[in-house]
């Protein structure tokens, strides 16, 4: 079985039918030369696999893939790892980096079971974010870990999502955020935010920062922030539920 924590039929059924059919093709990163030994630079291999997996499911093995620059996700994709095992780790970078990013219009991104490691001990002079999406519409992130993300000026974010004309849905469920120097979850102009059953440790700014309405948009923002647990010291500004805008 590819994904030991899921029944295969049930797992495929859970994927949004408007984006993936139950018989969707699986693509494995090893087909594109990813090594996953924790030291080889797998940036090019991962990027090639992501590009090829548009409209498909990209499978990551129980390995640590290191990168040195941002990875761009295609318009429609599910990325499937093995929870608490599969890792994408920043090896080094001389410029700001988003482990996964999308800066042009996209429809759907679903990520499950991946550790996003910013390696801030060795990457400490630039901004590093986990998932950074500035034009996404529907995003779901489950069973992932975001850790060691450095904030030099505007980084350290676990998940960032925005859309100039209003994104539809952001679901962040059953993830762990630790060593986050910015916001664990930050969304701008997303109509429906579901932030549930996540855990946060050692977060310096806030757990959630949900900004609803811009001057150009007029819609109600539906937000469900529930079941999250944040472990912090007394100096931490507990923002597990900041909602601004309409």
- Determine the average pLDDT of the residues in 91-99: 90
Q: Which residue has the higher pLDDT, 223 or 50?
A: 50
pLDDT at residue 4 greater than cutoff 50: no
Count CA atoms within 13 Å of residue 129 on its CB side. 24
201 pairs with which residues across the strands?
178, 231
Burial zone of 83 (CB within 10 Å; 0-12 exposed, 13-18 middle, 19+ buried):
buried
pTM of the model as a whole:
0.83
Report how far residue 141's alpha carbon sits from residue 173's, in angstroms, rounded to the nearest whole number: 6
pLDDT at position 204 is 67
What would the two tokens of residue 62 be?
């129980």
pLDDT at position 168 is 83
pLDDT per position as a tens digit, 207-221: 777 665 544 445 567
- Determine the average pLDDT of the residues in 101-125: 90
């Amino acid at each position: 079985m590819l994904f030991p924590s899921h029944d295969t039929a049930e797992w495929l059924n859970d994927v949004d039918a408007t984006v993936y059919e139950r018989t969707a093709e699986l693509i494995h990163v090893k087909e594109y030369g990813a090594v996953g030994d924790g030291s080889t630079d797998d940036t090019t291999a991962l990027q090639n696999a992501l590009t090829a997996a548009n409209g498909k499911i990209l499978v990551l093995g129980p390995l640590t893939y290191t990168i040195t620059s941002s990875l761009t996700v295609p318009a429609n994709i599910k990325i499937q790892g093995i929870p608490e095992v599969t890792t994408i780790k920043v090896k080094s970078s001389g410029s700001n980096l988003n482990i996964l990013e999308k800066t042009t219009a996209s429809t759907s991104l679903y990520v499950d079971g991946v550790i996003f490691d910013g390696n801030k001990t060795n990457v400490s002079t630039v901004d590093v974010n986990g998932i950074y999406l500035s034009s996404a519409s529907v995003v779901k992130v489950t069973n992932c870990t975001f850790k060691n993300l450095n904030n030099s000026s505007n980084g350290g974010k676990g998940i960032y999502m925005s859309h100039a004309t209003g994104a539809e849905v952001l679901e962040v469920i059953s993830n762990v955020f630790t060593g986050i120097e910015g916001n664990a979850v930050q969304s701008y102009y997303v109509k429906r935010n579901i932030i549930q059953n996540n855990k946060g440790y050692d977060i310096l700014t806030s757990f959630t920062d949900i900004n609803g309405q811009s001057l150009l948009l007029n819609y109600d923002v539906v937000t469900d922030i529930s079941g999250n647990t944040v472990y912090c010291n007394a100096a931490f500004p507990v923002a597990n539920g900041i909602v601004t805008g309409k």
